[in-house]
Amino acid sequence: MHRRFSQPTTTIAETFAGAKADYAAMTESRFRRRRPGVGGAGGAADQHYRSESAFVRMREYVRAMIRDDACAKFLVQRALINVIRTGFAYEPDTGDKGLDRELKGRWRDWANDPRQCDAAGVLTFPEIERLTAFNEIVDGDLLHAGTADGAIQTYEADRCCSPRRSERKGLVHGILLDERRRPAALLLQA
C-alpha cells in the first residue's frame, strides 16, 4: 500500500529564519554592544565584578553619571519618590490606645530630632531614609548601626572594604561572612 505524507507545517526556510532570529538576539549591533564582564557561562550574583577595585570603579562610574547627566539624575529622583512615597510610618499596636499614642509620639520626637536620631546629629529619620534609598540605587551599599544611646550611625559604602592582601576566607567588601554566608563582622576604614 502506498501512503501519502502531508506537507510539514513549517518549511526549511521558516525554520532557518527562526534560528537566525534566535541568533540575532546575541549579535552585536549599534543597539546592542558587548559589555565587558558579560559572558555566557553564567555565575554567581556578584560575578559582574571580579575584584574589589572593579567594584569601586563601577560605583564611581555610577556616581559620575548621576552627577553629570540630568536624565540619570531625574531617573534616580523618580525612583526615590516611588520607593519612599510618604515614608516609614511607625504604627504601634499594643492593644492599649493610650500606650500606642505615647509610643508614636516618642518615635515622632526621636525621628524629627537630629541630635537624638543621628549619631552625627545632622539628619532626621526621613533624611536618613532618603539617603539610604539614594545610596541603595547609586552605590549599592550603605550601612547603618544602632548606637548605645539609641541613635543611628551611618557609614558610607566607601568605608566598608577589605584590607589589601587579606587572606581571610569569607571577607567580601569588608564584611566577614560566617560559614552560612551571614554577616558576622564589619571591617571599616578610617
Tens-digit pLDDT profile for residues 119-171 = 999 999 999 999 999 988 888 778 888 999 999 999 887 777 766 666 667 77
Handedness of CA 152, 156, 162, 163 (dihedral sign): negative
Identify the pLDDT of residue 145: 87
Name, in order, each residue with C-beta under 8 angstroms of 89's C-beta and a sequence gap of 6 or more: none
Of 15-24, 88-97, 105-114, 126-135, least confident by mean pLDDT is 15-24
What are the φ and ψ backbone dihedral angles of 155, each rounded to 5 degrees? -120, 130
Q: Would you give the distance in Å from CA 187 to the centre of its chain?
A: 20
Handedness of CA 162, 181, 155, 80 (dihedral sign): positive
Q: Would you give the distance in Å from CA 46 to the centre of its chain?
A: 12
Q: How far apart (Å, rounded) are the C-alpha atoms in residues 80 and 129? A: 10
The answer on pLDDT for 90 being more than 80 is yes
Of 91-100, 146-155, 179-188, least confident by mean pLDDT is 179-188
| Residue 76 CB coordination number (10 Å) | 18
Residue bearing the bigger pLDDT, 26 or 173:
173
3-state secondary structure 116-183: HHECCCCCCHHHHHHHHHHHHHHCCCEEEEECCCCCEEEEEHHHECCCCCCCCCCEECCEEECCCCCE
Identify the pLDDT of residue 106: 97
Identify the pLDDT of residue 150: 94
- 8-42 per-position pLDDT tens digit: 566 666 666 655 555 555 566 665 666 555 555 55
When pLDDT is averaged across residues 33-53 and rounded to a whole number, the result is 58
Residue bearing the bigger pLDDT, 43 or 86:
86
Q: How far apart (Å, rounded) are the C-alpha atoms in residues 131 and 123? A: 9
Q: How far apart (Å, rounded) are the C-alpha atoms in residues 32 and 147? A: 48
Identify the pLDDT of residue 47: 54
Q: Would you give the distance in Å from CA 128 to the centre of its chain?
A: 16
Q: How far apart (Å, rounded) are the C-alpha atoms in residues 123 and 95? A: 32
- The per-residue pLDDT of the chain, averaged, comes to 79
Handedness of CA 5, 6, 8, 12 (dihedral sign): positive
Task: Tell me the CA distances in angstroms from 184 to 40, 67, 168, one per residue in order.
Answer: 33, 34, 13
Domain ranges of the chain: 52-158, 160-190
